[in-house]
Amino acid sequence: MLVQLSIKNFALIDDLNVSFDAGFTTITGETGAGKSILLGALSLVLGKRADLSSLKDGSTKCVIEAEFAISNYNLKRYFKDNDLDYGQQTIMRREILPSGKSRAFVNDTPVTLDVLSTLGRLLVDIHSQHQTLQLTDNAFQFRVIDALAGNTDLLDNYGARLHEYHLASNELERLIAHKNEAEKDLDYNSFLLQELENATLNQGVVEELEAEYEALNNVESLMELLSNSHQLLNEEQMGILSSMTQLKQLTQRLSEFGKKYGNLNDRVQSIAIELADLGNELENLSEAIEPNPERLEKVNGELQLLHDLFKKHQVNEVDELLAIKEDLTQKVGTSLNIDDTIQQKELEVTQHKKDLQEVGTAIRQRRQKAIPMLGKKLTERISSLGMQAASFKIELFPLEDFKRNGMDGLRFQFSANKGSQYGELKKVASGGELSRIMLAIKSILASYEKLPTLIFDEIDTGVSGEISNKMGEIMKGMAHNMQMFSITHLPQVASKGEHQFKVYKEEIGNTTSTKMKRLIGDERVQELAEMLGGKSFSDSAVSHAKQLLFEN
């Protein structure tokens, strides 16, 4: 509910601060007094884009604030999702700077214009004659029918299932596309994988193979070196082991002369044991080694394969080849098993489709029951608004695919006169007729869903007499469930308001300002009398004005 509106430095408004109440409020004033300015300011704080022409004084910023009571709007989730401080009394503020920049705030938290406008649409619904074209929008027409049908929970369920269906369908399309692409690459990837599987890919394998290759490729030199080394150790006369035997004998005798000589002897004895072991190992290696051209060729082939793989895959390490091998294994495996995956996903899509059809059918059945009721209520309402011969033809028909709001199409047709053919609202209904139909539909909706503050901006233009009186009664009835405003030129509508404000111009010196004040008592009588008879209203206009007020 709009509680208070503050406007500073906007168009013809210097500084305006006005409070509003629940129920039905009418706003009146002469043509050109500034009612559209007031609505323009409210539209800015609700998220409409602005420009420098909005400033009355181009050297000072324009500030518009609107305070709302929002405890009945279930907006805590919206505030949380947008990191806003929730308060049952919420203030939306818009500032337009002399530089042309615009800033928006919700409870003093800076917000984007999108956040402000989304919140604004949840709090206020403004309707003018131009905006009655919403009636011709299929989504709005479905909203009306679904409100009467009580489809809110079913539509939420349908929306969740539709999301799951789209996810599964998109994944199926991706898998099929991947299969088609993978089939082109399968043979090549399989060949690359086979090459990697034929190679020995272990940590340090290159170093090991290179060392073995060097040994096999230089076997004669190795044999000569081993033989010479073994001979140097074991030669009978001058060999190291022969000399070592003599040295052992000498240090053995020295050890008898004290501990330090004993330690020396221990070291010599240890070296002798090591040299003897070394001699045995040299002998074993010398006896084991022999030319092996077959092994040399195999080692050379393995090394060449690894270097070829490094070059082909443009890498330098075995670890990188292993990573490529793992990737190729996954690709080939996926290609070979993708048919099973596609089959499982097709079953999943089929189940989602079945679930959607079940919920969509339930939505359709409720709509079919609600359509006659809506047609009857609409016909009754517009008949009371002077369109006694008008009627509606609402047809629901099944669609082949799943839409955002179900599986149905909708034809919402209208005939203004008996015997006239039915046609689309935008083609056969006049502006005045669309205004009355919109009022009728909104009045019906008010009984089925929680509507935001509703502002009708001169939608009663071109209407007079008993019809305008009935329009006022309908608005007043709607105000039992919501806050309702009507900007009007008709005294019959203005008199129905529980509260009435007047917008007027005031000239001070060389400047003109738009003002707004609440009318009470005789002020309302005088305003209504002026609306009935002009500035020079008669006693009969006053009497008529009082009659309008007292009847309400």
Q: What is the mean pLDDT of the chain?
A: 86
What is the helix (H) or strand (E) element at residue 517, kind and residue range? Answer: strand 511-519
Q: Work out the average pLDDT over 465-480.
A: 88
Q: Residue range 316-324: average pLDDT?
A: 83
pLDDT on residue 550: 81
Which range is most confident: 40-49, 53-62, 217-226? 40-49
- Residue matched to tokens 């039915």: 422
**Which of the 8 DSSP states describes residue 55?**
B
**Is pLDDT at 483 greater than 70 in this prediction?**
yes
Q: Do 151 and 366 form a contact (C-beta atoms < 8 A)?
A: yes
Quickly tell me which residue has 């399309």 as its tokens: 173
Q: What is the pLDDT of residues 271-301, one digit of tens each?
A: 888 888 887 887 777 766 777 777 777 877 8
Of 112-126, 229-243, 384-398, least confident by mean pLDDT is 229-243
Q: All domains of the chain, ordered by start, with CATH?
A: 1-129+451-519 (3.40.50.300), 177-337 (no CATH), 522-552 (no CATH)
Cβ atoms of 2 and 20 within 8 Å: the answer is: yes
pLDDT at 448 over 80: yes
pLDDT at 474: 92
pLDDT-derived band at 476 (thresholds 50, 70, 90) equals very high
Long-range contacts of 161-164 (CB under 8 A, 24+ apart): 161/352, 161/355, 161/356, 161/359, 162/356, 162/402, 162/404, 164/352
* Range of weakest confidence among 40-49, 206-215, 499-508: 206-215
Q: Yes or no: say if 128 and 458 are a contact pair by the CB < 8 Å rule.
A: yes
**DSSP one-letter string for 145-197:** HHHHHT-HHHHHHHHHHHHHHHHHHHHHHHHHHHHHHHHHHHHHHHHHHHHHH
* Mean pLDDT confidence for 519-532: 91
pLDDT tier, 237 (very low <50, low <70, confident <90, very high otherwise)? low
The answer on pLDDT for 498 being more than 90 is: yes
Please compute the mean of the pLDDT values over residues 108-118 and round it to a whole number. Answer: 94
pLDDT at 74: 86
Does the pLDDT of residue 463 top 80, yes or no? Answer: no
**What's the rounded mean pLDDT across residues 18-31?**
93
Burial class (CB in 10 A: 0-12, 13-18, 19+), 340: exposed
